[in-house]
Amino acid sequence: MVSKAKIKEIRALALKKFRDAQGLFVAEGNKTVSELLTVFDCEWLIAHPRWLATREDIPVKELIQAGDDDIRKLSLLKTPQDVLAVFREPLYALEEADPASQLVLALDGIQDPGNLGTIIRLACWFGIEHIVCSPDTADVFGPKTVQATMGALARVKVHYSNLDDYIEINKSVPVYGAFLDGKNIYREKLSPNGIIVMGNEGSGIRPEIEILIRERLYIPPYPTGRKTTESLNVAMATAIVCAEFRRVVNG
């Protein structure tokens, strides 16, 4: 049985101000919770007996067994699952996101939590360990973002910083950006390290960041000259860009 006070406390974490105040976030579902349990400190884990029966030695400060009704009251999802956990937000040093030795994604004003979560999942797939977000990018620990990552937060570190400062500090490395007037990405020599900037869903990369980008890339439609959609979703574009960097560098 979960107390009303505990339900209220956990559901409050749907709001960023409460997540920031407590340094906690919620994750739901077997895959996501299982992945995050291996990396993050878990404060509370609330699960149905059928889920607990499949697990041993769960690293958590407080374990609560709950039925379907309680989980439904706690869940921030439209379709509740058998397990929900509250984790402590990790603290990362921006210096770890060193583009001199690796590829780093930089996200300029990504607003949609689903896009952010998908990009984190893509970064994990392509072995990109760090993402640097502008302060106005969606909150990585929001419920929709966490859900969309499908546990990739266990392997990708997300930082928030002023991108112009971050790029200026690392101005000696290649800085790439995706633009409609850029050079064909399939014909360019790409680096195994550097910064890849992806812009806002509607307005793209803002002007003050654009002037810092030295390599402008474009994903051409196929075949050339064929009438096509106006642009790609930012998560789709990120997938193509990351795949091409890995293909060229490792191929």
Q: How far apart are CA 196 and CA 178, in angstroms?
A: 8
The rounded percent of the chain whose pLDDT value lies above 70 is 96
Please choose, from the candidates 93, 108, 250, 235, the residue with its C-alpha nearest in 3D space to the C-alpha of residue 167.
108
Q: Which of 13-27, 115-129, 210-224 has the lowest mean pLDDT?
A: 210-224
**What is the set of domains in the chain, with CATH numbers?**
4-88 (3.30.1330.30), 94-250 (3.40.1280.10)
pLDDT value of position 250: 66
pLDDT at residue 228 greater than cutoff 80: no
Q: What is the pLDDT of residues 149-183, one digit of tens each?
A: 999 999 999 999 999 999 999 989 999 999 989 99
Q: How far apart are CA 199 and CA 243, in angstroms?
A: 18
Q: What is the pLDDT of residues 177-215, one digit of tens each?
A: 999 899 999 999 999 999 999 999 989 999 999 999 999
Q: What is the pTM (predicted TM-score) of this model? A: 0.94
The encoded tokens of residue 72 equal 């439904």
pLDDT value of position 169: 94
Give first-to-last CA distance, the chain, whole Å. Answer: 55
The rounded percent of the chain whose pLDDT value lies above 90 is 82
φ/ψ of residue 32, rounded to 5: -65, -50
pLDDT at residue 21 greater than cutoff 70: yes
Q: Are strands 42-47 and 24-28 parallel, antiparallel or unpaired?
A: unpaired
